Amino acid sequence: MPNLLEPFSYEFFSRGLLAAVLAGGLCGLVGVYVVLRHMSYIGHGLSHSIFGGAVLGYVLHLNFYIAASVWGVLSALLINETVRRRRIGADAAIGIVTTASFALGVAIISHARQFTTNFEAALFGNVLGVSREDLLVVAATALGCGLVVLLAYKPLLFATFDPEVAEVYGVPTAWMDALLALVLAATIVAAMQVLGVTLIAAALVIPAVIARQLTHSFGWMMLLSTTVGALCGAIGIYLSYFFDVASGATVVLVAAGLFVLSGLYADLRRARRQRARAQPRQQGAPAPLD
């Protein structure tokens, strides 16, 4: 039997685990807005766009995070503007902007093949290669985004649920949209090293969808989604060590597995409730749980 505590004796593993928990939790938290605002495609596109910026930054000898952040913020605001204006189909515009940006990154890489390997982590995630700096960035971003989401909870909720009435009641909805775009960009930049460009969209969406199946309350959905995201990060990294599989892929596969389980659970609960409604309630029997 393998020693289950063995991986913890390596510093790189503990660091990677912590980074994955933080990145997963952060994606779970921000993912609630991504799902409820139907922004999954934006999340997917933005992560690809940021990859282009990161590669460009590498060629220009800039810090990875600075280049990715600047590019990410610009892309996020551009996408946000495009969506708000609704002149051309938003999905088409997003597809053009973000895929062109991704293509730029791929073009640069393919031209100078010597640094291809450096970007494998950015594409597919390499949690076990997480440096002290990476961990620091993930932690700071998680803290910052967590604070923003907490301290703007009511206006963000209102602007997401019912933007028109929110505007009437004095919520600065344009600022809330921009704020969320920035939070999303920061999340992707911070989680990229751990989860990879190609897998971030799933890490954003799945925990939120799982949480939605388990609760009807917005507040609970945020708590559950963050927890599920962090849990997927932890379990995924742990399993990736034992099975020697790419960390980002394992995290997403764990999340997908939990999604299937939560779907089954929600179906079972619905069926049970319908049965309870169909039968006249017996005296003393507990009321069906909500």
Partner 1 sequence: MAAGSAIAAGGAQLEFRGVTCTYDGPPVLQDVTLRIEPGQLVGLVGPSGSGKTTFLKAALGLVKPVAGTILVDGQPVDRRRALLGYVPQVETVDWAFPVTVEEVVLMGRATQLGPWPWTSRRARAEARGLLARLGLAGLERRHIRELSGGQQQRVFLARALFRRPRLLLLDEPTSGVDIRTRHEILHLLAELQAQGTTIVLSTHELNAVATHLPYLVCLNRRVIAHGPPAIVFRDEILSRLYHAPLHVVREGDVAVVIDHPWRAPAEHNGAAESGDALEPEHYRSR
| Residues in touch with partner 1 (CB under 8 A) | 36, 150-155, 157-158, 160-162, 164-171, 212, 215-219, 221, 290
Q: Is the dihedral of CA 146, 149, 150, 152 positive or negative?
A: positive
Contacts 24+ apart (CB under 8 A), 197-200: 197/47, 197/48, 197/50, 197/51, 197/102, 197/122, 197/123, 198/47, 198/123, 198/124, 198/248, 199/124, 199/125, 199/248, 199/249, 199/251, 199/252, 200/27, 200/43, 200/44, 200/47
State the nearest-atom distance from the C-beta of 113 to partner 1, in Å. 48
Q: Minimum distance from CB of 160 to partner 1 (Å)?
A: 8
Let me know: does 179 contact 148? Beta carbons within 8 Å: yes
How near is the Cβ of 165 to partner 1 at its closest, in Å?
6
- Nearest CA to 157 out of 78, 222, 72, 84 is that of 222
Closest to partner 1 by CB, 168 vs 245, is 168
3 or 217: whose CB is closer to partner 1? 217
Nearer to partner 1, 136 or 151 (CB): 151
For partner 1, the closer of residues 10 and 288 by Cβ is 288
Cβ–Cβ contacts within 10 Å for residue 267, how many? 11
Shortest Å distance, C-beta 268 to partner 1: 18
Residue 242: CB minimum distance to partner 1, A:
36
Radius of gyration of the chain (CA): 21
Task: Please say which residue, 74 or 90, places its beta carbon nearer to partner 1.
Answer: 90
